[in-house]
Amino acid sequence: MTTEANDTLRTRAARHAALADPTRLRIVDLLTLGDFSPTELQAELGMSSNLLSHHLRALEEAGLATRHRSEADRRRSYLRLAAGALEGLVPGVEHHAARVLFVCTRNSARSQLAAALWRQVSSIPTASAGTHPADRIARGAIETARRHGLDLPDRPPSRLDLPDLDEGFVVTVCDNAHEELAGRGDVHWSVPDPLRLGTDEAFDQVFEDLALRIGGLVPRVLAH
């Protein structure tokens, strides 16, 4: 057996060993939907911070989860599922929704792109909104959509009305919006703000991140 094959087997064995624990399996199930801070996971699981740290360290060491700092509060971090971590072990349908709403702060890039991507792959109605909407959609988002053959209407950003949070499946795609709403959405994706850099590469990375996440979410949400 080649060295590469041995390395692959060891990686798979480590991931299976990590997932053999019920708590860690539940954490991974949560991460397949979106990103969570350790504090949010602690509240969801009802366990001590020391025990949670032990489980998170095991998941990170097995290559199942990664961690990064919040763009809003640098003292806060988010866990996300590592790319390709589960290889076909993703759980099945978990939600029914009449509408999917994507939310960010200014509704000028991430949430607009997410809604446009969703329309390509799902018949469930979608919309986007911002907690503090900008005057217009970011030019970089429009150009990125055009580069990828995505139809992104150039319409004014919309303001999030709090009743919207109770009408449909809500996905926050911005740390600021998620923390401002105190986790009132159904799922959070910690997607970097492409406007911070403003480059084609930054917008393309966000586009690819959203496309990957939406591809994973669509099979788990059915029309209500």
Tens of pLDDT, residue by residue over 51-81, are 999 999 999 999 999 999 999 999 999 999 9
* Residue entry with tokens 């580069």: 147
What pLDDT, on a 0 to 100 scale, did the predictor assign at position 92? 62
Return the C-alpha torsion angle 9, 11, 13, 15, nearest 10: -150
pLDDT above 60: residue 10: yes
Contact at 8 Å (CB) between 171 and 164?
no
pLDDT above 60: residue 102: yes
Strands 221-223 and 95-97: parallel
Q: Average pLDDT, stretch 28-54? A: 95
Helix (H) or strand (E) segment spanning residue 50: helix 49-61
What pLDDT, on a 0 to 100 scale, did the predictor assign at position 40? 96
**pLDDT tens, position by position, 171-180:** 999 999 999 9
What pLDDT, on a 0 to 100 scale, did the predictor assign at position 77? 96
How far lies 150's CA from each of 75, 106, 118, in Å?
36, 20, 11
Q: Average pLDDT, stretch 140-152? A: 95
What pLDDT, on a 0 to 100 scale, did the predictor assign at position 64? 93
Least-confidence region, from 36-40, 127-131, 137-141, 219-223:
219-223
What pLDDT, on a 0 to 100 scale, did the predictor assign at position 183? 82
- Domains of the chain, earliest start first: 3-81 (1.10.10.10), 95-223 (3.40.50.2300)
pLDDT class for 114, splitting at 50, 70, 90? very high
| pLDDT, greater one: 15 or 79 | 79
Q: Where are the alpha helices (DSSP H) in 62-183?
A: 110-121, 139-147, 175-180
| pLDDT, greater one: 9 or 195 | 195
Q: Where are the alpha helices (DSSP H) in 71-165?
A: 110-121, 139-147
**pLDDT tens, position by position, 80-100:** 999 888 775 556 667 889 999
What pLDDT, on a 0 to 100 scale, did the predictor assign at position 91? 61
What pLDDT, on a 0 to 100 scale, did the predictor assign at position 167? 84
What pLDDT, on a 0 to 100 scale, did the predictor assign at position 5? 59
pLDDT class for 13, splitting at 50, 70, 90? confident
